[in-house]
Amino acid sequence: MYKKLNIFLLLLMCVVVIALAGTSIFFQDSFRSLNNQYQDTSKNYTTASQSLQRCQNTLNEKAEKLNSTSLDIRKYDELYTQKTGELDTTKNKLLETDAHLKEEQNLRQKAEQNYQQALIVQSQQKQQISQLSTDINGYKAQIDQLKLQLSSCQAGN
């Protein structure tokens, strides 16, 4: 009976050792599978983390560019407002200058007309002077002739 009991215990120990070895192999495979899943998940996490960091950097760069662009737009708005004011001022000055030039042009035209009229009057006066000069020369000739006649009359008397 002890022999059967020893064999039974030996068989029981073999079954326990085999069960323990099987369980150990099963858990080792399960652990290896879980470890591989963990490593894959860790790689995916690292890749996603790096991708997130790149996206965050890109977002920060775009935000800086947007802020810079916004500042540029404000500068251009201020410059536009300033230049619009300067343009209005220049336009007003130009309109004033244009009005002044038109006034000066009207005065010049009036002066030109007056000058032309003066030239006509001068020409008429020159003709009149020439006519009067001719008349004076004619009268002088008549006076000389009458003086000769008078002196010949006085000498003959």
Of the pLDDT bands very low, low, confident and very high (cuts 50, 70, 90), residue 147 is confident
Q: What is the pLDDT of residues 9-18, one digit of tens each?
A: 888 899 999 9
Question: What is the mean predicted confidence (pLDDT) over 59-77?
Answer: 87
Of the candidates 113, 111, 115, 135, the one whose C-alpha atom is nearest the C-alpha of residue 123 is 115
The position carrying tokens 């039974």 is 8
Whether the per-residue pLDDT at 38 is higher than 80: the answer is yes
Note the residue count of the chain: 157
Instruction: State the chain's mean pLDDT as an integer.
Output: 90
The position carrying tokens 């899943």 is 37
43 in any annotated domain: yes
Q: For 127-140, b where at least 16 C-beta lie within 10 A, e where not — what string?
A: eeeeeeeeeeeeee
9 in any annotated domain: no
Q: Which amino acid, residue 121?
A: V
| pLDDT of amino acid 1 | 66
102 in any annotated domain: yes
Of the pLDDT bands very low, low, confident and very high (cuts 50, 70, 90), residue 39 is very high
21 in any annotated domain: no
Q: What's the whole-model pTM score?
A: 0.41
15 in any annotated domain: no
131 in any annotated domain: no
DSSP labels, 21-32: HHHHHHHHHHHH
138 in any annotated domain: no
CA angle 95/98/100 to nearest 5° reads 110
Domain that holds residue 99: 34-109
Number of domains composing the chain: 1
Whether the per-residue pLDDT at 87 is higher than 80: the answer is yes
91 in any annotated domain: yes
* Dist. CA 125–CA 119, nearest whole Å: 10
| pLDDT of amino acid 155 | 79
